[in-house]
A and B are shown apart, each in its own frame.
Chain A
Amino acid sequence: MRKILALLLSLALLLSLSALSLAEGVTLKTVSTFAGTDAAAETYVALLKAWEDKTGNKIEDASSTGDEVFKAGVLNDFAAGNEADVLFFFAKTADSAPILGKVVPIEEINAAYPELNLPINTAIAEPDGVVYSIPVRPFWEGLFCNIDLFEQVGAELPTTWENLVDAIARFKDAGIVPIAVSFSDIPHYIADATVLSASSEADYLARPKAGDPIPQAWIDGNAKINELYELGAFPVDVNATTEAVTSQMFRDKKAAMQMDGSWFANGIPEENYDTTVVLPFPVTSAEAQPTAFMGGVSMGFYVSRKAWDDPARRDAAVDLLAYLTTGDNAVALAAFQFKGKLLESSFEMLNAGLTTMYGPIQDAMDPEARSYWFSQIPGIADGTVVPADAWKGVMELAPFGK
């Protein structure tokens, strides 16, 4: 009996000791899009683990794929005071506008921690001219093509709309899905790309207020989605499948093209680096610029004001920020690991578009309007929604302010 008691007591002591040792470090909350199939997801988890081991602090991470649910979740958390301490989130977009009062400008961090000398990248400055975050991953978007499939059916690469239409017909005959995409899941890239490829610079950069007319090019651009649909360019279940499934079709060489971003390039299997290239989406109007592509930095690492104002967590949060955004770690998270023809063609696109790199239109849009726009894409595709009506509905929601 006494033995058992002694055992219990020592167990209790051990437990309380381990609880004490846990209490030594601080616990930080983090959130990012390094998750799921993101090429840097494992790197990110490993980096956090290494940092925990190094500092004795703990991290509660809530990363997930950067979709609309993720964006809304982070914004809601900020609004409710539930924000993370260190986060990798969108910048320079309508999404980051509401959080700027609740994150710390990099300059302010540098002032308090001059030895860190954190990079201030003006490319990610918000409209107020202040840099709040540190980017590690600029992006571009382009039309990915499996060139071996193009050779197989004897089609030219889709550098022009005519080539694209011709290739679609050949792929259809050969039983290959021409363009892999899921409109029920991620219509974002094609929605944007068709607008850019139909617009002059002025049209693309127009930000009409509620009640103002929108450029006809936007409507014409989105109308091309229906044209492609009628040509049979998309998977049979384009309006019901998921992006994960369609991306896999492209990687498995069951689909010939996919409109996507540089993060997608990272997921291309190594053995396909030399059989995959990326091009700007072909233009569909005379005013549009053939070299135009979408790119920029849209995300960066932030420290929240909440962590900054908490003396217990401030040092740890800043340390983690510096740890993730400088040196080898930043390079590892940038994850531009692809090589071969894929890298080469991306350089060609980037170099050709010296003056024609634009941010995606959707980043400037209010979430409600954007969400409505995307919800209309499946209908636009199969012809049940007229593009002009869809845009009318979008504009009623004042996507660029009132």
Chain B
Amino acid sequence: MLYRDRRPLLVFLLLPLLLMAVFLYYPFVVNIYNSLFDIKGLIGKPGEFLGLGNFSTFFTRDPVAMRALRNSALMMPLSLVFQVGLGLVLALMVDSVRRGQQFFRIVFFFPIVISATAIGLMFSLFYSYEGGMLNQLMVLMGRDKVLWLSKERAYTMLVIPVLWQYVGFYFVILLAGVNAIPDEIFESAAMDGAAGLRRIWYITLPLLRDVLITCATLAVTGAIKVFDLPSVIARNGAPNGLTHFLGTYMHNQAFVAQNVDYGSAISIIIVLLGVLAAGLMTALMRRGGEAL
């Protein structure tokens, strides 16, 4: 009866929906429209109709784009394994020790608190060939200097800080989840003879299922948004455009090369990739859920 009068609904929904309509849904649709026409410059009027031309360029004639797609797509499983996975391992380990929980909780979270740009700067100080920290270490150990951002190594070197930064984030969430599991469950498990890794597998993980799903979703959607660290550490997808991510390449095309239609097309591919990954994850979770 309290909620039968629907007039207040307008008050509650108007402002947020208006904001989202103006700055999210409308531009999203316009963006799709833009990707079908030739547009020069951010404010350029749609010119020649290209249809899906931009998309076919992306998939058939632009090696940098394919590389960026691969880099971004690969980022998803990497985030799952290293951010959420490592976060989980650390959470389980911290939960199992008595002293220093507080300390680890503070210290592991450090990298999140600091702006990604600061971390980017720091890592460019590490990777620099002349005088970078890593090469100073190599010299100290009597080894040859290494080109850390070489063609073969650059992607790995870029992914490390991105992954490293968010481990603590998932660690904190997962640790709270582990801490929230009541002691009695473990006690009764112990009586049943479950211990060690078996206990983690059969008791802790199933109980953490919801938290893990939240973390996994955050990690996968975070993976397609990667932008700031690579844009600070490796200019223009250095070396040779090999370390572009979809986000940095989109920025490069739309805002630097003034190729707005192509940038719009890339951003649509970003969305599609996200939807695909989310769909895949939901499917996996459901099957996993039945198995558990």
Contacts and interface: CB of A to CB of B under 8 A. Distances in A.
B43 A368 contact: no
A237 B149 contact: yes
A264 interface: no
Given A76-B43, A245-B130, A239 B256 contact: no
Interface string A48-77: 000000000000000000001100110110
A184 interface: yes
B74 interface: no
A240 B145 CA distance: 15
A208 interface: no
Interface size class of A (residues with CB under 8 A): 20 to 34
B131 to A, nearest CB: 9
A245 B258 CA distance: 28
B257 A379 contact: no
B233 to A, nearest CB: 10
A241 B42 contact: no
Interface stretch (A8-16, A269-277, A318-326, A370-378): A370-378
Contacts of A242: 235
Contacts of B129: 235-237, 240-241
B41 A79 contact: yes
Contacts of B235: 184-185, 242
B179 interface: no
A98 interface: yes
B115 interface: no
B277 interface: no
A382 interface: yes
B249 to A, nearest CB: 10
A4 interface: no
A372 to B, nearest CB: 7
Interface in B29-87: 40-44, 64
Contacts of B217: none
B259 interface: yes
A371 B256 CA distance: 8
Interface stretch (B5-13, B203-211, B237-245, B279-287): B237-245
A375 B252 CA distance: 11
A361 B255 CA distance: 22
Contacts of B255: 69, 72-73, 76
Given A239-B239, A240-B147, A367 B257 contact: yes
A384 interface: yes
Interface in B141-155: 145, 147, 149-151, 154
Interface residues of B, number: 29
A254 B129 CA distance: 13
A5 interface: no
A232 to B, nearest CB: 13
Interface of A is mostly: helix
A80 interface: yes
B236 A75 contact: no
B128 interface: yes
Interface in A367-398: 367-368, 371-372, 375, 378-379, 382, 384
Contacts of B130: 235, 245, 249, 254
Contacts of B234: 184, 240
Contact of A375 (B41, B154, B236): B236
A379 B238 CA distance: 11
A59 B241 CA distance: 38
Interface string A222-252: 0000000000000111011110010001000
Contacts of B239: 184, 237, 239-240, 378
Contacts of B240: 184, 239, 378-379, 382, 384
A34 to B, nearest CB: 21
Contacts of B64: 375
B41 A98 contact: yes
A79 B39 CA distance: 13
A49 to B, nearest CB: 28
Contacts of B40: 368
Nearest to A79: B43
B236 A367 contact: no
A240 B149 contact: yes
A68 B256 contact: yes
Given A237-B129, A245-B130, A368 B259 contact: yes
Interface of A: 68-69, 72-73, 75-76, 79-80, 98, 184-185, 235-237, 239-242, 245, 249, 254, 367-368, 371-372, 375, 378-379, 382, 384
Given A72-B257, A76-B41, A240-B150, 5 more contacts: A79-B41, A236-B145, A237-B149, A371-B252, A379-B240
Of all A-B residue pairs in the complex, the 8 with the closest CB atoms, nearest first, are: A184-B238, A79-B43, A239-B239, A240-B149, A371-B257, A237-B129, A240-B239, A378-B240
20 contacts: A72-B256, A75-B41, A76-B43, A184-B235, A184-B238, A185-B236, A185-B238, A236-B145, A237-B149, A237-B150, A237-B239, A240-B147, A240-B234, A240-B238, A368-B40, A368-B257, A368-B259, A371-B252, A375-B236, A375-B241
